[in-house]
Amino acid sequence: MPFVSPEDFAKQKIGAVQDYSILAWQAIANFFSRPRYMADVYTQMDLIGVGSLPTIALTGFFTGSVLALQSATSLKAFGATSMTGNLVALSMVKELGPVLTGLMLAGRNASGMASELGSMKVTEQIDAMRALGTDPVRKLVTPRLYATVVMLFFLTIVADAVGIAGGALVSVTMLGMNASTYFHSSYRSLEYADIVQGLTKPMFSAFIIATVGCYFGMNTKGGTQGVGRATTQAVVVSSIFIIIVDFLVSRGMIGIFGR
C-alpha cells in the first residue's frame, strides 16, 4: 500500500463521504419519480428476503436457544428461572434480533451487491448503461435499497419470533419449565416501546447495507482484485456502521421512551 500524506488521506476520505452521501440521496429521491423499475425491486426482494430466510431463521433460533440456556443458569442462583422468558423476549426483540439480522444480511447481501456492481463496473457495463441513457443509480441502486429496507423489516420479525421459540424449546425440554409460563412471561414483558425500538433499528441497518454495498460496488477500481477489495470493504464498513448506529438508536429510544 503506497504511502499517502495526511492531507491527501483526509481529502480522499472527505471525498468518499461526499460521494456516498450523493449516492444515498439519489437512491432515495429516485423512488419518487419515474421510471421506478418495480420489477427489479421485486427481484431483489426475492433474492434478499427469501434467499436470506433460512440463514436468518437458523441464526435467530440458536441465538434464542443459547440465550435461554445461559440466562436460566444465571437466574437459577437467584431462584428466578421463571424470568427466563422475559429475558429472552426482551433481548431478542430489542437488541439481538435486529443487530444479528443486520449483520448476517451485511455479510450475505452487502458483499453480493458490491461484487455484482463491481463486476459490472470493471467490465464497463455501467458505462454502457449511461451511454444508452439509463441512470445506473436509478436502475441498480434504488431497487436494492428499497428491497433491503422492506425485507429486513420482516426478516427481523422472523428472527425475533424464531428466537423466542428456540428459547421456549430449550426451556421446556432441557430446563423443565412450563411452556405456558414461558410464553406468558415473554408476552407480558414486552411493551410498545420495546417493539418500536426493535423494528426501528432494521430500517437504519437496511439503509446502511444497501447504500454501502452499492457505493463500494459502483466505485470499484483495479479489475478483479478491485472487486475483491470492494466486497471486503463493503462487509466491514457496513457491519461497523450497523453496530455504531445500533448504539445511537438505542440511546435515542431510551431517551424518548425511558426504557
29-50 pLDDT, tens digit each: 998 888 888 999 999 999 999 9
With a CB cutoff of 8 Å and minimum separation 6, the contacts of 241 are 208, 212
Q: Which domain holds residue 191?
A: 36-257
Place of cell 447495507: 209
pLDDT higher than 90, residue 133: no
Query: Is 22 part of a structural domain of the chain?
Result: no
Global pTM reads 0.92
Query: Is 21 part of a structural domain of the chain?
Result: no
User: Can you tell me the mean pLDDT for 212-219?
Assistant: 94
Chain centroid to CA 212: 11
Query: Is 149 part of a structural domain of the chain?
Result: yes
Query: Is 19 part of a structural domain of the chain?
Result: no
Query: Is 28 part of a structural domain of the chain?
Result: no
Cα dihedral: 50, 52, 56, 58 (round 10): 90
Say if CB 94 and CB 198 are below 8 A apart. yes
pLDDT higher than 70, residue 225: yes
Task: Report the chain's mean pLDDT, rounded to a whole number.
Answer: 91
Query: Tell me, what's the pLDDT at 29?
Result: 92
Query: Is 5 part of a structural domain of the chain?
Result: no
Say if CB 84 and CB 163 are below 8 A apart. no
Query: Is 17 part of a structural domain of the chain?
Result: no
State the Rg of the chain over Cα: 21
Dig out the grid coordinates for 79 from the structure: 431462584
Query: Is 12 part of a structural domain of the chain?
Result: no
**Number of independent structural domains in the chain:** 1
Classify residue 175 by its DSSP letter.
S
